[in-house]
Homo-oligomer: A and B are copies of this chain.
Amino acid sequence: MPIRLGELAERFGCELNGDPDVLIENVAALANAGPESLTFLSGSSFKKQLSSTKAAAVVLRADDVGDCPTASLVSDNPYASYAKMAAVIHPAPVFEPGIHPSAVISPAASVSASANVAANAVIEDDVIVGENAVIGAGSFVGPGCRLGNDCRLHANVTLVRAVVTGDRCIFHSGSVIGSDGFGNAMTPEGWIRIPQVGGVIIGNDVEIGASTTVDCGAIDNTIIGDGVRLDNQIQIGHNVHIGEHTAMASGCAIAGSAVIGKRCMFAGMSGVAGHIEICDDVVVSGKAMVSKSITQPGVYAGMFPAETVSSWNRRVASFRRLGKLLDRVSRLEKKDT
């Protein structure tokens, strides 16, 4: 949706350096932007691309205005301002209210008249779907689910049962929410399964990535706080609590009953052991495994970066001699005294 630069500046409270009547038609990366595009400069790593940008306008910090060869929109948080503007320039698709004739909806479900239910979606008994909700093609909303207003399930999402959400949640394709937790008791005859009778409670403004799985609680509920962001291919075990505005990148796995604080950030492929607690404002680096509770905010890590295999193999060999090395040094010290 084309929009005037002046209108962007006004709507999002940015100082404009440049012609307010320039029309913005799309967003683009700093290096590829053309004269109809809005772009942004956030960190310092792209700063060198600024001087040669062909964008119509750049959202940037006040410090960078002098180096900008085109119009600029000044913001203390250029990335966030860009996000808001981009949402206006490229608005989310609008879905007309209605239920596709191929969708299968239980008579015991209550679907808002303003909702859109796409082809081949299935909605089971005792479901409530809120206003303006969008249920994507092939998605399944199982018994006892309650979806707030303005939620969107992309195609082929599965809410197994007893998933209760706030408003404005987004579920990406392939995600599975409310599947049984992994509860098994060993007996002489083998494993017997523990019935998983809890649900999943999801706050407002939560986004859950493609092929991410969130198990229902074993007895109580699994809880995902307001504003949580889960990327793709993440596993959240039963009874986990995730605090508000915590974000996890792809491939993380959180074992059952872990309690995670607010505003935490987990880089990709990191993991958390079961039954531990992580306080607010913890950052976990890529591939790190948190195996004990964390009580202090801060950054935690535990990964060796890859290097050439010959170098790495030497290090592993050295590492295996470390126990003996400690003894050898102790011996030297003893002699030395």
Contact = CB atoms under 8 A, between A and B. Distances in A.
Interface of A: 26-29, 32, 45, 77, 79-80, 82-84, 86-87, 90, 92-93, 100, 102, 104, 118-120, 122, 124, 136-138, 140, 142-143, 154-156, 158, 160, 170, 172-174, 176, 179-180, 182-187, 190-195, 197, 205, 207, 209-211, 213, 215, 219-220, 226-227, 229, 231-233, 235, 237, 244-245, 247, 249-251, 253, 255, 268-271, 273, 275, 284-292, 296, 298-309, 312-316, 318-323, 325-326, 328-329, 332-333, 335-336
A165 B292 CA distance: 39
Contacts of A192: 80, 83-84
A315 B306 contact: no
A271 B251 contact: yes
A212 to B, nearest CB: 8
A299 B309 contact: yes
A244 B213 contact: no
Contact of A179 (B154, B300, B302, B336): B154
A235 B233 contact: yes
Contacts of A122: 118-120, 137-138, 155
Contact of A138 (B118, B120, B194): B120
27 contacts: A29-B220, A79-B185, A92-B195, A122-B138, A136-B140, A138-B158, A155-B158, A156-B176, A158-B173, A174-B176, A179-B232, A190-B245, A191-B247, A213-B232, A213-B250, A233-B253, A251-B251, A251-B253, A271-B286, A290-B305, A291-B305, A291-B306, A300-B307, A301-B307, A319-B322, A325-B329, A335-B336
Given A32-B219, A253-B268, A271-B286, 10 more contacts: A86-B194, A87-B193, A102-B104, A176-B232, A179-B232, A270-B306, A285-B309, A289-B304, A319-B319, A329-B329
A219 B102 CA distance: 34
Nearest to A239: B29
A176 B302 contact: no
A232 B307 contact: no
A120 B219 CA distance: 31
A215 B191 contact: no
A80 B155 contact: no
A174 B174 contact: yes
Nearest to A252: B251
Contacts of A193: 83, 87, 170, 207
A329 B324 CA distance: 11
Contact of A318 (B232, B284, B323): B323
Nearest to A287: B289
A232 B235 CA distance: 7
A268 B253 CA distance: 8
B137 A137 contact: no
Contacts of A102: 102, 104, 120
